[in-house]
Amino acid sequence: MAQVKICGLKTGEAIETAIMHGADYIGLVHFAKSPRHVELPRAAELAEQARGRVKIVLLLVNPGTSLVDEATRIVAPDFIQLHGHETPEDVQAIRLRASLPVIKAVKVETVRDVEQAKGFDRVADMLLFDAKPPENAVLPGGNGIPFDWSVLKGFNTDRDYMLSGGLDPQSVKAAIEATGAPVVDVSSGVESAPGVKDLQKIEAFLKAARS
């Protein structure tokens, strides 16, 4: 059975709904351009609400060392998720600096993108396959765009990976069946508007993923 990450949570009510219906991970986004952005003090409050109940993931985009230090000190997440243009060297340096496991998001459109992801396999604790954003997109992820799951066929890794990109309550079951993904990740697919989580959609997504 696939595990589930609900990302981009901003309210205690959404976190409670995710936990109550069986989420394994919750994601907090610290990226000012995102409609799901939360400041670090607020992320810390939400993290405390979830701590010990689910795994807490803090999403950062191309963070400098000062932000890595501040974020890990204030929020104390279980994982850092890197969703920018970080290189394998960046991932390794951030992982060592934070002393935390790192999830590296990889933007996917073709089989070649999946092959290039192998460069992160030894430095990241987990990979997250997300759809490649449109050109000139403001957001590096959370755009509600799926990708062709067949490009993951034949991808082998000793580590778990997450599948993201346009998943919603209607598509998640088929995505799991098609890819065998051990973890699925959703953000915009359980929203009523950008950054506004729909509690009924969170519940429906988790039920569909578990089925």
Determine how β-strand 191-193 pairs with β-strand 196-197.
antiparallel
Q: 42 φ, ψ to 5°?
A: -70, -40
Query: Is 113 part of the annotated catalytic residue set?
Result: no
Write the single-letter amino acid at 83: H
> For 156, which DSSP code?
-
Residues listed for the chain: 211
Q: Point out the catalytic residue in the list 7, 69, 90, 125.
A: 7
- Residue 187's Cβ-count burial label (10 Å; 0-12, 13-18, 19+) is buried
Cα(first)–Cα(last) distance of the chain, in Å?
8
Q: If you search the block for the tokens 């104390």, which residue do you land on?
A: 76
Number of Cβ within 10 Å of residue 180's Cβ equals 11
Query: Is 198 part of the annotated catalytic residue set?
Result: no
CA distance 91 to 98: 11
* Cα within 13 Å of Cα(156), Cβ side: 1
* Cα within 13 Å of Cα(26), Cβ side: 31
Q: Point out the catalytic residue in the list 78, 90, 125, 130.
A: 130
The catalytic residues are: 7, 130
